[in-house]
Amino acid sequence: MEQDTDKFILIPAKTGGGALLRHSQIAGGRANGSEGAIIYLECGPSVYTTATIPQIAGYLDAEIAEVRKG
């Protein structure tokens, strides 16, 4: 990933404050019930956040795919 697009993102953490991550460090994520989400990092640790997956997608400027019916 090019340096100019590898922005820092401040994700709200469950323990208060937040986690400052580089866009390129994020390997994936999943919902964590109604409590937010878990973000998996390439370097190993996970970040438990109060942000939802749609909120995280917004932080990353990601497009949300729409499910086609039928």
Q: Which of 1-5, 14-18, 56-60, 64-68 is predicted least confidently?
A: 1-5
What are 56's two structure tokens?
A: 């995280």
Rounded CA gap, 13 and 32, in Å? 13
Total number of domains constituting the chain? 1
Residue 7 lies in a domain: no
- pLDDT tens for residues 19-45? 888 889 999 999 998 889 999 999 888
Residue 28 lies in a domain: yes
Residue 17 lies in a domain: no
**At residue 59, does pLDDT exceed 50?**
yes
**At residue 16, does pLDDT exceed 70?**
yes
Q: What dihedral angle (degrees, nearest 10) is formed by the CA atoms of 20, 26, 29, 33? A: 0
Write down the pTM of the prediction: 0.74
Rounded CA gap, 22 and 4, in Å? 11
Do the beta carbons of residue 8 and residue 21 sit within 8 Å? yes
Residue 45 lies in a domain: yes
